[in-house]
Chains A and B, each alone.
Chain A
């Protein structure tokens, strides 16, 4: 079974631009969560999607948004990029959100904002 895939793997943008990252979960998994990983703040939860609906949201500004499609694939969008948005963005999938299932992480998208 293929793992979680994220595209692109690397991205360079400039301040003020917007960016869209994509995540394909493991086949059959319906929950997709997004995390931001930085050296200073560590791993922080952004949001979780299940059945095309945002179910949980972390403490991030509204510039960070996401969506999920009917095939469970998910995208996250960051608008008006700031230097501090430079990070590794990780996507994780799990079968559902109703139990403590293992979350499987993708390799991440490394975003650099210049």
Chain B
């Protein structure tokens, strides 16, 4: 049972575009929502994370929007660049059962065309 559902599976945008990746979760007890970026041959790397007490968080060109009532959160990449081409994973965890036990979405392969 997928605890975190992610869409779309793949995404192609032009350079400068704003790709948006969406995730939805079922467990209302989740209290930590990170996004990871993975390049081929590498392990995932943390991009940005949010706690449910805020609705938005920005770090550089990356923004997380969080909607607690809808149990959804999304990643926006402003002014996307070819170097952003990678697979993006959303995730969730809860402190109660282990802050480091991440439930991952299925991933979105992003391609940014020059």
Contacting residues, chain B, for A99 (C-beta < 8 A): 99
10 residue pairs bridging A and B, Cβ less than 8 Å apart: A35-B104, A43-B44, A43-B104, A90-B44, A97-B98, A99-B99, A100-B49, A103-B102, A104-B45, A105-B44
Cα A43 to Cα B101 in complex, Å, equals: 11
CB-based contact B32/A103 at 8 Å? no
Number of B residues with CB within 8 Å of any CB on chain A: 25
Indicate whether A26 reaches chain B with its CB closer than 8 angstroms.
no
Indicate whether B89 reaches chain A with its CB closer than 8 angstroms.
yes
Within 8 A of A (CB), among B9-57: 32, 36, 41-46, 49, 51
Flag B95-114 by CB within 8 Å of A: 1 or 0 each. Answer: 10111111111110000000
Q: Which residue numbers of B lie inside 8 Å of A, CB to CB?
A: 32, 36, 41-46, 49, 51, 89, 91, 93, 95, 97-107
Within 8 A of B (CB), among A55-114: 55-56, 58, 90, 92, 94, 97-108
A: contact size bracket: 20 to 34
Cα A44 to Cα B1 in complex, Å, equals: 11
Q: State the Cβ distance, B89 to closest chain A Cβ, in Å.
A: 6
Q: Which residue numbers of A lie inside 8 Å of B, CB to CB?
A: 4, 31, 33, 35, 42-45, 48, 55-56, 58, 90, 92, 94, 97-108
A56-B97, A97-B98 in contact; A105/B103 too (CB < 8 A)?
A: no
CB-based contact A103/B104 at 8 Å? no
- The 10 A-B pairs at the shortest CB distance, nearest first, are namely A105-B43, A56-B98, A43-B104, A42-B106, A102-B46, A100-B32, A56-B101, A105-B44, A33-B100, A100-B99
